[in-house]
Amino acid sequence: MLPDTATLFPRNLLSGLVCAATLTFNAALAAEEDVLMHKDPNCGCCGQWAEHLRANGFSVKEIATREMDSIKRDAGVPPALASCHTARVGGYVVEGHVPADDIRRLLAERPSAIGISAPGMPLGSPGMEGAYPAESYQVISFDAEGKTQVFAEH
């Protein structure tokens, strides 16, 4: 016996709408995880940080440039929070060797900050691992007015 077409149409329509919503949601998530990273062409640790993000599900596009000072200034990174590379993801600035979990938290919580930073180049942070002992460090959030606060401690 064939199913009644009157009952199939609404079911198929609903299935189509669910599929379209899922594709749209997945596309938004993928865009949220696209990282655009500017780095000095001679910096090796920046590439290691990009690999850390890729291993944690982010898509990273690396752009080598000698204009890092102007990129940081244009991104609103306070000089005291500067590091070796500057990235953008999900509408936020990510400065330096910030762990992927902190970026995921930033994207989930969506604070009013313009970005987060792991100032300097903390030993043991993603991309700065090595034979030397890891040091404790903080990830700092910053806003357009220059206000900062501790976002995470490692």
Cα–Cα distance between 12 and 33 in angstroms, integer?
A: 32
Q: Is residue 9 domain-resident? A: no
User: CA 2, CA 40: separation in Å to the nearest integer?
Assistant: 66
Asked if residue 19 belongs to a domain, the reply is: no
Asked whether residue 81 is assigned to any structural domain, the reply reads: yes
Number of domains in the chain: 1
Per DSSP, 124 falls in state T
CATH at residue 105: 3.40.30.10
Q: Which domain holds residue 142?
A: 33-153
- The reply to whether 123 falls in a domain is yes
Whether 126 is in a domain gets the answer yes
Q: What are phi and psi of 37, to 5 degrees?
A: -115, 125
Backbone φ and ψ of 6, nearest 5°: -70, -30
pLDDT at 7: 52
In a domain, 15, yes or no: no
Integer-rounded Cα radius of gyration of the chain:
20
Q: What is the pLDDT along the chain (154 residues), one digit of tens a residue?
A: 555 555 544 554 444 444 444 433 333 444 568 999 999 999 889 999 999 999 999 999 999 999 999 999 999 999 999 999 999 999 999 999 999 999 999 999 999 999 999 999 999 999 999 878 999 999 999 999 989 999 999 9
Q: Is 20 among the domain residues?
A: no
